[in-house]
Structure formats: structure tokens, C-alpha cells
Structure 1
Amino acid sequence: MKQVTWLQILIVSFQLGLTSFGGPVAHLGYFHEKYVKRKQWIDEHSYADLVALCQFLPGPASSKVGIGIGFMCGGVLGAIMAWIGFTLPSAAVLAVFAYLSQGMDSGSAGWLHGLKLAAVAIVVQAVWGMGKSLAPDKGRATIAILTAAISLLVPSTYTQVLLLISAGIVGLLLYKPNSSGPSSKPDSEQALLGTTSALSSPLYKKLAICCLIAFFVLLFALPLLRSIYPNIWLAMFDSFYRTGALVFGGGHVVLPLLEQEMVPTGWLGKEQFLAGYGAAQAIPGPLFTFASYLGFMIHGWTGAVVATLSIFLPAFLLVMGALPFWNQLRSHPHTRGALTAINAAVVGILLAALYDPVWTSTVKTPADFVLALFLYGALLFWKLPSWCVVALSIVGGMLLGAL
């Protein structure tokens, strides 16, 4: 694994923050392309392990993965740089949108449809690449297919968590520690475990314990403090922190929770709420930066900063609290068998998400399919960078809209 500086982490994550359209599933595709394929900061198996861990944790899915990669490559400051770079573009745009206080009818925009088709190509590439590496044989391919099927037939965030747990149990039974099959540790991961062994040091373990304690203390203490000391800032901190700490699945799942916190309290009207949510769909980066818009509408620029920090803080505490122990746990022979099957299940979850919502909400006509196919070819065969594919998707979407 290459030596990575904090500045490199900030630059690469900022590039992703500018170009990662399409929601958390598409973001994982962009991350896979940038961090695994192009930069090679993390290998396929370690990336899948991290995605699997983040599936168990509440909060913004893609942001947790980005924070985890930053933490593995550059410690605490690396995690902060990864979060700032990925979050800042969309947070700034949504705060400025709130400042301008103008509605945005982006639902029928051709350029937005083109960006959604780019997300299709990105996710297809990610599923194909991870499938070849993590589900290459009959057993693991079966796990991936069954996971995808159940995810689609019983759609629920909790279904996904149960499927990952079930896959882990199957992996413990099928892939024994002394078997010479897929449970053995790949050489590339040996290198990664060597470079990230510092995360398992006593210092980081103490930090991890402090982060986990802080997560639960804030979760239970903030509502109590809010009732004892009525204050706009404490109320905002509690509402956004609790949302970030309790929502599983990220992305669109956060919408009803935030609406319950914002509209009934009178902080803003339903029309303002939906206008901001519509704007959030049209920009790259994590959908959780919708909090930046809401915070500004409540209390200006300071409100935007407080809301953004509050809703992402649980993800920080959970990722930094889990990773030092996760790195040690995943190197255990018994754990490797479970993770072998869990990695295949992750491929299945991404495959299901490729169909719904990515494909079903985007590919409506033969022309849509042709543009998505062209963008996929640009990524896979012509090796164009993600930002170039995004630019092509915007042009293609506008052309389709003009037809």
C-alpha cells in the first residue's frame, strides 16, 4: 500500500465530493473506482470488509466508508480530511441554495437525468468488479445471488443487516480456518494489515473506547439536557445528532426522520423542506448534507455548520470506535471464514440496489439504456476518469431531454 499524506486524502476525497452523483450505492462505486482501482490505497477484500462493517452501523453509508478509508490511511486527521473533502462541496452548495431561498424544479431537468444514468454505469462497474473478486466461485456466487433476491423480495434495511449476519454464520460453517479455500488471506491484504496495524495499538484502542462511550452518552444525554435547558442550539444538536445516530441505510431513509424533527416543530414549512430535498438530489456528495440546508433555514450560516457537524458526528464516533477492533478481529482465522461469506453478501446487496432504486428509477427508455451503456464503456474500456464520465453524462442527458 502506498504512503498517503493528509493532503492527498483531502484532495482525492474533494474530487469525489465534486463528482459522486447518484446516492450512497453509486458513491460506493465511485469510491471503489478511485480508492481501490486507481489509487490502490486499499485492496478489494479490505474495501469489502469496510463496507460490510459500515452496513452494520447507523448513519450515512458512503460517508462512513470514506471516513473509514481516511482513518485507515491517515489516522484521526486522515478521517477528518476524508470527511471534509467529500462533504464540503455539497454542504456549501446547499447552504448557498438556502441563502438564495429560491425554489428549484430539477425533477424534469435533462442534465439531472444524465447524472442518474452515470450512477447506473458506476454501480454496474462496481458490482462487476467486486463480483469477480469476492464471489468468483459457485458457493460465494450463490450467497450473492440469494442475498440479492431476498433483498429485493423483502425490502428493508433490517433485512440487509440480517442477511449479513446470516452470511457470516454460513461462512463460519463453510470456510474453516484450516481449509485451503477462499478463507485464506490474500497477499494484498497482508500488506494492508501491516500498514494499518497502528490502528490496533493501545492508543487507538483507548480512543476507540472513548468514541463509543461518547456516542452513547450523547445519544441519551442530549434529549434530557434539551428538556432541562431549552435552547435553540442544544435542540438542533439533539435533533440532528439523533437522526444521524438512529437512521440505518442512509440517503433517502433520512427524509422521514428529518421531516418529523423539522416541520412539526415549526422550524420550517413543508414546502421549504421539500424544496431543499429536491436541491439535494441534484448535487454530488452525501445526501446527509441536506442538514446544511435545514440548518441554514433555521439559524443562518452558524445553523448550517451546527447541523452538518451534528448529523455526521455519530458516524465519526462509530467508525473510529469500531475500526481499531475490527482490524484485529478480521485477521482472526475464524473471522476470515465469516467475512468471506459476508463479502459475497455485500456484492448481493449492491446487485439488488443496482436494480432498485438505481435502475428502476433511471432507465426508462431504449435511449436511456444506450447512454448508460456508453458511459459504462467509457469507464470500463476507455478508462476515462470519473469526472469526465460525469461531464459526458450531463451532455448526454441534455441531448436526450431535447429529443
Structure 2
Amino acid sequence: MSQSQEQDKQDGVLSDALPTSAPARRGSAIEVLLAFLKLGLTSFGGPVAHLGYFRTEFVERRAWLDDKNYSDLVALCQFLPGPASSQVGIALGLGRAGWLGALCAWIGFTLPSAIVLILFAFGVTQWAALSQSGAVHGLKVVAVAIVAQAVWGMAKTLCPDRLRAGVAIVASLLVLAIPSAIGQVGAIVAGGIAGRWAVHLRQLPVAEHRDYGVSKRTGAAMLLLFGLLLVLLPVLAAAVRSPALAVISSFYQSGALVFGGGHVVLPLLQTSVVPAGLVTNDAFLAGYGAAQAVPGPLFTFAAYLGAVMTGTLGGWAGGLTLLVVIFVPAFLMVAGALPFWEPLRQRDGVQRAMAGINAAVVGVLAAALYDPVWTSAIHSRADFGLALGAFGLLVYGRQSPVWVVALAAVAGWLLAR
């Protein structure tokens, strides 16, 4: 072998070893819409299950990307606040068909469950007795089991040592002591600070990063818009004294500040609408229980709340408005972060802070399990027995949440007779 051939071979080995940017093979927005519409109609089981459905559909079946790029994308969306599975879907649509593809991915995955929940809201609004019926009480009770399952599963994964378990307990106590958005956000911030200075993790290895067609300038502009809306919407709502704008501001904050997915947004949304009298606590928990019975992201619960709400918002317009508002931060964050993800995820400090934040999320969710979920749903031994049975079916029986929710609704109806 000549010296030049040997050098070419060495250069080829070195170039293969370097992380490169994998270009996305483009498709049509209609293709993206149809693919995600199928998932929006069939993806039961929560965000972790959604990520499994996505991998089967887009890595194995359609080969839109490989496992390495998919894992990289999931890692980014787990790091960001907001609904992780929806953000993965938005990014997949963005990589496949540009900005229109991102919109089509969100519409296909989100709209089916949102429509069902808005129709359920009309039932609760038109027939007030519906929210007091035995079947709806069964939905409230099964919400206890579902949130308990989320706490159980997240605690095993996110609190693997005494330090992070302690962070979760302190966060839960803080939220119970300060039952407002301030307590919840404060617990998450405190968890991040504790994680940054106390948790020790190994640095992630350098990995190949996929090109999603978003420049750093565009990404920076979207992140700036995300921050401006977060700061200015509450100021504007206070200045004009508009109840509708105040609700929009609260829902944007809920979508922007939540780590851990749909279950964790529950206390923020409850604080936004129930104390203000916009939604009764019975209607809130009835909708939350119904949200477990539909496929797609749990953030579509915002559509139910907007539709059932009294005041300026309400009906189809209110439901669709708040549905869009709560997902806007997810769009801005994932598209804005994609160009910067690779250097960010390599920083030890960021990884340690996220470990603390994730532990605090477990504590926030545990506090929500007690209030408002448990206190509003468990009133008798029969209620506790139904919740315990549902928990057993979910955790140990590994039954689909849709069947457990349906069974709880029937059981609640029978117990009320």
C-alpha cells in the first residue's frame, strides 16, 4: 500500500470517528399529518408509552431517523420543560417537512383527544348532574391511581439515592406549605440549585447531532420570544385587568415552567382556574379523569378547561385558544433549543441541575396526589378500595390506562346505585 493510500485510509478512519450532522430526508406535510393522526388516535399510556410508539413508527417502520438520532432528540426533550412526547413529535415533523411539518405533527397528535375532551366539557356544562354522577366520581377516583402510578414510577427512576429522595421530600413539603404556583416553581428552582451543587453525575459522551434545518439565529430568536412572553404576559394582564388575558398568561406559564410532563401540570392548572372560580373543583377532577381515557398528550386537558370555563372564555373558542396557548412554549423551546443542544447537554453543571429538578418534580407531584386529587376524590372505604384496585391493575397488572379508566367509571356508577 502506498504512503498516499495509507494516509487516505487514516483520514477516512478519523472522519468516521468524528460526530457529524446527519441531514434529514425531507417528506411532505401531508405525510407527517397522516402519520401523527394515526398516533393521535391510538397512542394510549402516557408520555413514556408515546415515545415507544414514536420509535416503532419513525425509527423502525418509516426510517425517518436512526436510533442514535432519536435518542439524542428524546434526551433534549426530557431536558426541556413542557410535554416531552409532544416536543419529540414537533421536532420529528420539523426535521421531516420543515415548519409546516412541525405544525402538522402537533395537529395530528393533539387534535383527536382535544376534540373528545371539549365534547365532554359540553356534557358537564349542559348537564350539571353529570359532574356529580357515579361514573364521573369513578373518573375522579381513578385519577388518584394514575397520579400515584406516576409518582411511583418517577420516584424509582429520578430519586435513586438518599440525596435526591431528600430533595423530593423537601419539595413536597414546600408545595404543601405554600399551595400556589409560587411554591411549585420555588420547589423546582430549589431542586435545581441543590442538584447543581450536590449531585454528582458522569458527563454524557459526545454524540452525533441531527440537523433539523434551524439556524442558531432563528433558534435564539425563538428562545428570546419564549422568555419575553413569559415575562410580559403577566405584566400585560395586570395592566389591562383582563380576566381572559390573565388565564392565557397562567396557561402559558404552566406550559413553560413544567418539568415532568402532563401529570405535573395538574397543580399549576388547578391553581390557575379553581380558586378564581372559573372551574369548579368537581368539574376539574372529572375532566382530569376523562383525560386519562383518551389517547395523545395529557396537555390537551387545557382544551377541556377552556371549554368548561365560565366567563369570557368557554366553549369551542375557549377550548381551542387555551389548547394553543399551553403548547406555544413547547414549540418555541424545542425549535429554539435544537441548534444549541449538543454543547449544552455536555455540561456537567446542567446535568446535575436537571437531576435535582427531576427529583423536585417527584415531590411536586406527590403533593398534588394529596391535594387536590386525593382530598377531592376519596370520601369512603369504597373509594379507597376502587383507587387501590385501579393502582394494582396499572402497576402490577400492567393494564392499559384506557381500560382501567373505563372500568373505574363503570364501578363508580354501580357503587352510586
TM-score, normalised with respect to structure 1: 0.67
The aligned counterpart of 2:210 is 198
Say yes or no: does 1:253 pair with 2:260.
Answer: no
Distance 2:321 2:359 in 1: 38
1:132 CA displacement = 1.3
Say yes or no: does 1:135 pair with 2:162.
Answer: no
Identical aligned residues as a percent: 29
1:96 CA displacement = 8.4
The aligned counterpart of 1:342 is 357
Say yes or no: does 1:31 pair with 2:31.
Answer: no
1:255 CA displacement = 2.3
Aligned counterparts, 1:2-401, within 5 A? 6=32, 9-15=36-42, 30-32=46-48, 34-35=49-50, 50=77, 53-54=80-81, 64-75=83-94, 77=101, 80-82=104-106, 84-91=108-115, 93-94=117-118, 102-176=126-200, 183-184=201-202, 194=207, 197-198=209-210, 203=214, 205-215=216-226, 242=249, 244-246=251-253, 250-255=268-273, 280=287, 283-284=290-291, 285=298, 286-289=300-303, 290-292=305-307, 308-309=323-324, 312-322=327-337, 325=340, 328-401=343-416
The aligned counterpart of 2:11 is none
Distance 2:314 2:411 in 1: 39
Distance 1:74 1:367 in 2: 46
Letter in 1 for 2:38: I
1:258 CA displacement = 8.9
Verify the 8 A CA contact 1:237 1:307 in the aligned structure 2.
Answer: no
Verify the 8 A CA contact 1:110 1:400 in the aligned structure 2.
Answer: yes
Q: Please, which runs of 5 or more residues in structure 1 have no aligned partner? A: 21-29, 55-60, 177-182, 225-234, 260-269
Matched residues, number? 346
Deviation string, structure 1 residues 197-228 (Cα, Å, up to 9, x no partner): 326x672544433433555677869x99xxxx
Verify the 8 A CA contact 1:119 1:358 in the aligned structure 2.
Answer: yes
Q: Does the residue aligned with 2:349 lie in a helix, a strand or coil? A: helix
Distance 1:350 1:100 in 2: 26
The aligned counterpart of 2:7 is none
Verify the 8 A CA contact 1:135 1:141 in the aligned structure 2.
Answer: yes
Assess, with a 3 A threshold, how the Cα gap between structure 1 residues 377 and 317 changes in structure 2: closer, same or farther. Answer: same
Larger Rg: 2
Verify the 8 A CA contact 1:140 1:341 in the aligned structure 2.
Answer: yes
1:172 CA displacement = 2.2
Distance 2:334 2:415 in 1: 41
Letter in 2 for 1:212: L
Distance 1:244 1:337 in 2: 28
Letter in 1 for 2:222: C
Letter in 2 for 1:81: A
Verify the 8 A CA contact 1:51 1:346 in the aligned structure 2.
Answer: no
1:369 CA displacement = 1.3
Distance 1:315 1:392 in 2: 33
Distance 1:100 1:162 in 2: 34
Deviation string, structure 1 residues 237-265 (Cα, Å, up to 9, x no partner): 97875454355654233427997xxxxxx
1:156 CA displacement = 2.1
Verify the 8 A CA contact 1:118 1:375 in the aligned structure 2.
Answer: yes
Distance 1:341 1:212 in 2: 23
Assess, with a 3 A threshold, how the Cα gap between structure 1 residues 126 and 307 changes in structure 2: closer, same or farther. Answer: closer
Q: Does the residue aligned with 2:302 lie in a helix, a strand or coil? A: helix
Deviation string, structure 1 residues 97-140 (Cα, Å, up to 9, x no partner): 65998343223211111112222222222211121121121111
Distance 2:337 2:129 in 1: 41
Assess, with a 3 A threshold, how the Cα gap between structure 1 residues 257 and 347 changes in structure 2: closer, same or farther. Answer: closer
Distance 2:376 2:310 in 1: 29
RMSD: 4.6
Distance 2:77 2:193 in 1: 18
1:312 CA displacement = 4.1
Distance 2:391 2:324 in 1: 35
The aligned counterpart of 1:23 is none
Q: Does the residue aligned with 1:106 lie in a helix, a strand or coil? A: helix
Assess, with a 3 A threshold, how the Cα gap between structure 1 residues 135 and 240 changes in structure 2: closer, same or farther. Answer: closer
1:44 CA displacement = 12
Distance 1:45 1:397 in 2: 43
1:66 CA displacement = 4.0
Q: Does the residue aligned with 1:364 lie in a helix, a strand or coil? A: coil
Verify the 8 A CA contact 2:251 2:322 in the aligned structure 1.
Answer: no
Out of 127-136 and 167-176, give the one that drifted further: 167-176
Letter in 1 for 2:364: I
Q: Does the residue aligned with 1:384 lie in a helix, a strand or coil? A: coil
TM-score, normalised with respect to structure 2: 0.65
Out of 290-299 and 360-369, give the one that drifted further: 290-299
The aligned counterpart of 1:265 is none
Distance 1:158 1:236 in 2: 20
